[in-house]
């Protein structure tokens, strides 16, 4: 999972440490009410990597063949957070053999010995919630062959973490961190004997978060599709825990699931992966399907609009467009300057993508991934449609500011297909220009027709543009329409040609062409993918030109060649790095 959250402030860190130490007084438990069932899904490939001594957390690879997990020096806070959160237990459980179980047991009881007394960086509400969910999910896997002393240590550590969560869940930031803390407390409260009284406040708290944190259309302020998937997963897990305990799912929780599921279906491409916007990735393999199945909700948003995105779909083709203002305030710490960017997927193969979040590759890649040139949209004068603020003191997180405020959007069905027309004012202040984009997907899904316009609409806008052109010089202001290609797309193009052939691994052949009002070039790009050691090199199509007038228009087309449909397309190289 490629989602990061702000670091807690000094006062919050102090209180977390205090309650972690006080938790040592609450270390007794008499085992489980009933045998827990595993719910979370891991990666077999990543599990095999760990068994082989390769620890790949948050994009950092550490070789550890002879030392224990907790003896490894952490190269970055993100590595430490992923290590302390124990989501890697899902991967070891996916392998499930004796060697994987031996690693899981040694590393878990190693944590109890090193940190179970209330020490270390893992005592935050969100990491503790994430950790206890995995301990409970995989309890049968972990406790197999253990003696009574080890079992007592395991249950006692769970009891201490449950007490800590009961005191500190409210300090977790709103959104995914708080949902993790509350769901963890519900799990441990309903699973450990004599702990049910801890679950009741958490159930009420989760109900409130569902009412206030999920909007009426099933969206989040962060507009991060993968974060929304993680929250739906947590809600379905909490619902299953309540059902196993003989309880019903509270109304607000059930209503939130019913709102979220159609939104996620709308944000899912035809290959089953999520659209990659605002810090989110495609989602952990299999998690979206399981969460949607557990939601028992089959609808998609009927109007094709969800959480500020527009979905155009036809047989075998999906186009998802960011058609709303970017997040603001604390919700924007992972947001991208991606207004009017789009992604296109054909069958099981992504074609046009955004570069994605670089958070797992360090701060420089993270900042680069948030800029407009890393999105499949138009950039102007070397500027992004929104900019990054100075990092907040100590937290090191940059909010997205000065982004588009007005993004009018209209969807229509025409004889040519489904069309979205949208515009944004992100370049109005500096250049007096409004970027307008029209995308039309044909009924058979074979053709996407695009038109990008830069318009100085009002007289004041024209004067501002004239001044900007005068400052830029005779050539005018450079614009660039970028379309980043997935790394598996093969490109053929003749020098100076007005068209580019794009061949997918499935055998499909797409052709990009344009109206020659801009110059076409192929330039290097990157595809930043969680679970990889480094960004994957790829290419991007760039249509560049110069703004010298009050109206600039460029038309382009992506067309699938006749007969280019793959009947069998089973393999996709989209998993963790094997390096």
Residue 511 has pLDDT above 80, yes or no: yes
Write the CA distances from 462 to 432, 550, 551, integer angstroms: 6, 6, 10
Separation of alpha carbons 48 and 68, rounded Å: 16
CA angle at 186 for the pair 283 and 10, rounded to the nearest 5°: 75
pLDDT at 7: 60
Residue 474 clears pLDDT 50, i.e. is over it: yes
Return d(Cα 236, Cα 242) in angstroms, integer: 10
**CA 448 – CA 436 distance, rounded (Å):** 16
d(CA 467, CA 469): 5
Mean pLDDT of 153-179: 95
CA 529 to chain centre: 10
Nearest to 444 by CA among 564, 558, 310, 317: 317
Q: Which of 295, 242, 230, 269 lies closest to 90 in space, CA to CA?
A: 230
Closest alpha carbon to 91 in 145, 136, 36, 51: 51
**Mean pLDDT, all residues of the chain:** 91
Nearest alpha carbon to residue 206 among 227, 230, 224, 231: 231
Q: Report the Cα–Cα distance between both ends of the chain, in Å, rounded.
A: 19
**Confidence band of 394 (pLDDT split at 50, 70, 90):** very low
Secondary structure of residue 276 in the 3-state scheme: coil
**pLDDT tens for residues 429-449?**
999 999 999 999 999 999 999
Q: What separation in angstroms does the CA of 447 have from each of 118, 305, 350, 379, 444?
A: 59, 21, 15, 24, 8
Please tell me the least confidently modeled range out of 28-37, 439-448, 553-562: 28-37
Provide CB contacts within 8 A for 22, sequence distance 6+. 118, 167
Q: What whole-number distance in Å separates Cα of residue 369 and Cα of residue 527?
A: 9
- Kindly state the tokens that stand for 321: 């467009």
Categorize the per-residue pLDDT at 577 as very low, low, confident or very high, splitting at 50, 70 and 90: low
- Residue 458's CB is within 10 A of a number of other CB atoms, namely 12
The count of other CB atoms within 10 Å of the CB of residue 220 is: 22
Q: What is the mean pLDDT of residues 120-140?
A: 96
The 8-class DSSP code of residue 383 comes to: B
The predicted structure's pLDDT at residue 505: 93
pLDDT mean over 418-439: 97
Model's pTM, two decimal places? 0.92
Q: What's the pLDDT at 285?
A: 85
pLDDT tens by residue, 313-360: 999 999 999 999 999 999 999 999 999 999 999 999 999 999 999 988
pLDDT value at residue 396: 56
- Under a CB-based contact definition with an 8 Å cutoff, are residues 411 and 310 in contact? yes
User: What pLDDT does 475 receive?
Assistant: 80
Q: What are phi and psi of 362, to 5 degrees?
A: 110, 165
pLDDT reading at 480 higher than 90: yes
pLDDT at 1 (0 to 100):
53
Cα–Cα distance measured from residue 302 to residue 174, given in angstroms and rounded to the nearest whole number: 29
Query: Which has the minimum average pLDDT: 6-15, 29-38, 172-181, 545-554?
Result: 6-15
Nearest to 313 by CA among 338, 344, 288, 342: 344
Lowest-confidence region among 41-55, 147-161, 243-257, 554-568: 554-568
- Name beta bridge partners: 390: none
């Amino acid at each position: 999972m490629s989602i990061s959250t702000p670091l807690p402030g000094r006062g919050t860190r102090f209180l977390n440490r205090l309650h972690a130490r006080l938790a040592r007084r609450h270390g007794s438990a008499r085992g489980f009410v009933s045998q827990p069932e595993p719910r979370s899904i891991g990666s077999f490939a990543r599990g095999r990597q760990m068994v082989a001594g390769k620890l790949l957390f948050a994009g950092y690879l550490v070789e550890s063949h002879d030392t224990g997990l907790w003896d490894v020096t952490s190269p970055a806070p993100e590595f430490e957070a992923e290590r302390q959160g124990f989501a890697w237990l899902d991967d070891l459980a996916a392998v499930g053999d004796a060697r994987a179980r031996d690693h899981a047991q040694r590393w878990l009881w190693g944590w109890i010995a090193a940190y179970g007394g209330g020490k270390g960086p893992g005592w935050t509400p969100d990491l503790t919630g994430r950790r206890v969910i995995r301990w409970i999910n995989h309890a049968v896997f972990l406790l197999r062959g253990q003696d009574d002393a080890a079992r007592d240590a395991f249950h006692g550590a769970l009891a201490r973490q449950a007490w800590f969560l009961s005191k500190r869940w409210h300090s977790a930031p709103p959104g995914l961190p708080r949902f993790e803390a509350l769901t963890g407390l519900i799990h441990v409260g309903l699973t450990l004997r004599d702990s049910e009284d801890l679950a009741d406040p958490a159930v009420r708290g989760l109900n409130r978060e569902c009412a206030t944190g999920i909007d009426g259309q099933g969206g989040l302020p962060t507009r991060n599709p993968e974060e929304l998937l993680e929250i739906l997963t947590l809600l379905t897990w909490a619902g299953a825990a309540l059902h196993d305990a003989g309880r019903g799912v509270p109304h607000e929780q059930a209503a939130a699931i019913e709102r979220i599921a159609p939104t996620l279906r709308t944000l899912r491409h035809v290959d089953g992966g999520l659209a990659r916007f605002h810090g989110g990735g495609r989602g952990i393999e299999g998690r979206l399907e399981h969460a949607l199945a557990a939601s028992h909700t089959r609808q998609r948003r009927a109007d094709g609009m969800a959480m500020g995105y527009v979905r155009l779909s036809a047989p075998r083709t999906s186009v998802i467009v960011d058609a709303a203002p970017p997040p603001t305030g604390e919700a924007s710490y992972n947001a991208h300057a991606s207004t009017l960017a789009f992604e296109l997927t054909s069958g099981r193969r992504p074609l046009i993508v955004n570069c994605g979040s670089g958070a797992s590759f360090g701060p420089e890649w993270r900042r680069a991934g948030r800029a407009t040139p890393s999105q499949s949209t138009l950039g102007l004068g070397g500027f992004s449609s929104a900019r990054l603020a100075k990092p907040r003191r100590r937290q090191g997180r940059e909010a997205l500011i000065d982004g588009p405020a007005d993004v009018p959007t209209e969807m229509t069905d025409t004889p040519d297909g489904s069309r979205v027309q949208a515009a944004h004012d992100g370049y109005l202040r500096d250049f007096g220009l409004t970027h307008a984009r029209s995308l039309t997907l044909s009924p058979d899904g074979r053709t996407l027709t695009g038109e990008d316009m830069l318009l100085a609409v009002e007289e004041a806008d024209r004067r501002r543009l004239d001044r900007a052109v005068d400052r830029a010089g005779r050539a005018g202001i450079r614009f660039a329409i970028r379309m980043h290609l997935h790394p598996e797309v093969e490109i053929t193009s003749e020098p100076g040609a007005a068209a580019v052939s794009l061949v997918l691994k499935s055998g499909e052949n797409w052709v990009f062409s344009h109206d020659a009002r801009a110059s076409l070039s192929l330039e290097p790009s990157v595809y930043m993918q969680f679970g990889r050691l480094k960004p994957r090199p790829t290419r991007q199509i760039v249509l560049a030109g110069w703004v010298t007038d009050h109206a600039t228009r460029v038309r382009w087309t992506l067309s699938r060649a006749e007969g280019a449909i793959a009947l069998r397309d089973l393999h996709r190289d989209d998993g963790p790095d094997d390096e």
